[in-house]
Chains A and B, each alone.
Chain A
């Protein structure tokens, strides 16, 4: 939908809330990959990540009328998705491994031996990530994998910036000691 390329997120949200579904489609196109990446990293399961994406966008759609003008749509959608992920983890209390994940993360140019080594490393890191508290894990993933600033993470998680800093530090410390 080329006609929406230049339209800002908040204007798209406004258009969508007035019933223009195409405007909402554009928001979905802009942020679906990011939300999926976050959810799949958190949950390590495609189906669960897909459910989270659907639910996050549905919730955003239903609440568009309450979306604050000038607020950031992407931190808002991240926030919804993050809460859904945390709820999911709390409810399920288990993670389902995405079997193809390690292989998919490998580069084709690597030798088989390297692949095996990297596969093992990824496996270990995944295990360590799963072992740390989801609150710390999500803060770390939002920073390291999604590239969000502390201010953005603070908005997404609804916690002060200082807490973001300490959660990320603790996540790194925990991971480091688990991998040593």
Chain B
């Protein structure tokens, strides 16, 4: 065996990893070669030095307490897993709720959009034209006795109102709108109304029109005081139309609870009227909105929970999942409110998680950031 070959075998020889033949050949060589024998001794001494660096002095009680500490972490992670399942279930509910809300709002907006341009004396901002002023809701609710059971099933809309297929005056309305180049919406036709309202242009136009209306008409006149003006404060019986108007204002100011309160008073004080039917419709729509607002609260709770989890277990395998839930919750909130602090908060969270996850960041992060930054710019 060559001297150079022997040199390479010294390390495995020291570790007892050579076969019998190799050991014999190497030991023969070592008995004749002082250089290799010295080299082997040096390697043995080196191993001794390495062994001296062994550190086995953790703080007192460390080994004794470790199993309990680990068990606590296993339990906490078990809870976190269950939380994920809960949050997933919640988010699924939120998604269903949000879908219902969007459809309901789209329907409402569709009706509004379909009605735009029709003669409205006042209030010009009313999302559902007042029954006493025009027949907008006249075709929505009919006397039960007039509707066959089959017809009733076919025409029951999402909020439980019954809608007739061919409302009186529909053909004339369509003709008027077509002349103006407006979308073809048959009053009472939910499918078409939703389709039209769901188009981004229709939605944006309708929303901005409503916001302008709200600003122009309310001019700082807060809905709660409006409700008072409507009669409550004076201790007089409030005019249902006035209450409807004020509730409408509250709705435009996104004070949904006040708006529901106002509409409920209309339903209570003028039962069986078209105005009450309109108010009931608004209540249904607004309740869906309130559910969504509550869902936003759930999202906030969820975001807080995941933020805490990431902070507590920064090295856990669940961190990418936690980051995903955390950023998704804040992103959803920002999308809903588009309020600067919420948008900034979501951006910050996504950036933090990106730097934490690095190349493991979900690809959707960049798209979300882009969209959020657009909100800020606008």
Binding site for B on A (CB under 8 A): 21, 24-25, 28-29, 32-33, 36-37, 40-41, 44, 46, 49-51, 53-55, 57-59, 61-62, 98, 100-101, 104-105, 118, 121-122, 125-126, 129, 140-141, 143-145, 149-150, 165, 168-169, 172, 175-176, 179
What residue of chain A has the Cβ atom nearest to residue B69's Cβ?
A54
Within 8 Å CB of A58, what residues of B?
A: 70, 73-74, 77, 316-317
In terms of DSSP, what is the predominant structure of the interface of chain A?
helix
Q: Is the CB of A37 within 8 A of B71?
A: no
Q: Is B119 an interface residue (CB 8 A)?
A: no
Asked whether A105 and B54 contact (CB < 8 A) given A58-B74, A169-B11, the answer is yes
Q: Is the CB of A122 within 8 A of B63?
A: no
Within 8 Å CB of A25, what residues of B?
A: 67, 71
The CA-CA distance from A51 to B52 in the complex, in Å, is 24
Among candidates A24, A55, A57, A172, residue contacting B46 with C-beta atoms closer than 8 Å? A172
Within 8 Å CB of A140, what residues of B?
A: 50
Asked whether A28 and B53 contact (CB < 8 A) given A36-B58, A51-B315, A144-B47, the answer is no
Q: Is the CB of B12 within 8 A of A150?
A: yes
Q: Which of B30-89 contact A (CB under 8 A)?
A: 42-43, 46-47, 49-59, 62-63, 66-67, 69-71, 73-74, 77
Q: Is B239 an interface residue (CB 8 A)?
A: no
Q: Is the CB of B66 within 8 A of A28?
A: yes
Within 8 Å CB of B52, what residues of A?
A: 105, 118, 121-122, 125
Q: Is the CB of A129 within 8 A of B53?
A: yes
| 26 sampled A-B residue pairs with Cβ under 8 A | A25-B71, A32-B67, A33-B56, A36-B62, A50-B58, A50-B62, A54-B69, A54-B73, A55-B315, A62-B317, A101-B53, A101-B57, A105-B54, A105-B55, A122-B52, A125-B50, A125-B52, A126-B53, A145-B51, A145-B54, A149-B15, A149-B17, A168-B15, A172-B46, A176-B46, A179-B46
Asked whether A28 and B50 contact (CB < 8 A) given A54-B73, A98-B55, A168-B15, the answer is no
Among candidates B43, B57, B67, B316, residue contacting A172 with C-beta atoms closer than 8 Å? B43
Determine how close the nearest CB of chain A comes to the CB of B357; give it in whole angstroms.
Answer: 13
Q: Is the CB of B62 within 8 A of A40?
A: no
Within 8 Å CB of B10, what residues of A?
A: 169
What residue of chain A has the Cβ atom nearest to residue B315's Cβ?
A55
Determine how close the nearest CB of chain B comes to the CB of A133; give it in whole angstroms.
Answer: 15
The CA-CA distance from A126 to B12 in the complex, in Å, is 23
Known: A175-B46, A176-B42. 12 other contacts (CB 8 A): A21-B74, A28-B70, A29-B67, A37-B55, A37-B56, A50-B62, A58-B73, A104-B57, A105-B53, A121-B49, A122-B52, A169-B10
Q: Is the CB of B54 within 8 A of A41?
A: yes
Within 8 Å CB of A55, what residues of B?
A: 315-316
Q: Is the CB of B11 within 8 A of A165?
A: yes
The CA-CA distance from A179 to B42 in the complex, in Å, is 11
Within 8 Å CB of B50, what residues of A?
A: 125, 129, 140-141, 144-145, 175
Within 8 Å CB of B53, what residues of A?
A: 41, 101, 105, 122, 125-126, 129, 145
Q: Is the CB of A33 within 8 A of B55?
A: no
Within 8 Å CB of A62, what residues of B?
A: 317
Closest 3 CB pairs of A and B: A104-B57, A169-B11, A40-B55
The CA-CA distance from A40 to B54 in the complex, in Å, is 8
Within 8 Å CB of B363, what residues of A?
A: none
Within 8 Å CB of A53, what residues of B?
A: 66
Q: Is B21 an interface residue (CB 8 A)?
A: no
Asked whether A168 and B54 contact (CB < 8 A) given A55-B315, A59-B317, the answer is no
Q: Is the CB of B55 within 8 A of A104?
A: yes
> Scoring B residues 215 to 256 as 1 if CB is less than 8 Å from chain A, else 0, what string do you get?
000000000000000000000000000000000000000000
Asked whether A150 and B15 contact (CB < 8 A) given A32-B63, A104-B55, A125-B50, the answer is yes
Q: Is B378 an interface residue (CB 8 A)?
A: no
The CA-CA distance from A85 to B17 in the complex, in Å, is 26
Determine how close the nearest CB of chain A comes to the CB of B68; give it in whole angstroms.
Answer: 9
Q: Is B8 an interface residue (CB 8 A)?
A: yes
Among candidates B55, B67, B316, residue contacting A28 with C-beta atoms closer than 8 Å? B67
What residue of chain A has the Cβ atom nearest to residue B50's Cβ?
A144
Q: Is the CB of B69 within 8 A of A36?
A: no
The CA-CA distance from A136 to B281 in the complex, in Å, is 74
Determine how close the nearest CB of chain B comes to the CB of A124; give it in whole angstroms.
Answer: 8
The CA-CA distance from A166 to B316 in the complex, in Å, is 34
What residue of chain A has the Cβ atom nearest to residue B318's Cβ?
A62
The CA-CA distance from A59 to B77 in the complex, in Å, is 12
Within 8 Å CB of A51, what residues of B?
A: 315
The CA-CA distance from A149 to B12 in the complex, in Å, is 10
Determine how close the nearest CB of chain B comes to the CB of A76; give it in whole angstroms.
Answer: 16
Q: Is the CB of B56 within 8 A of A104?
A: yes
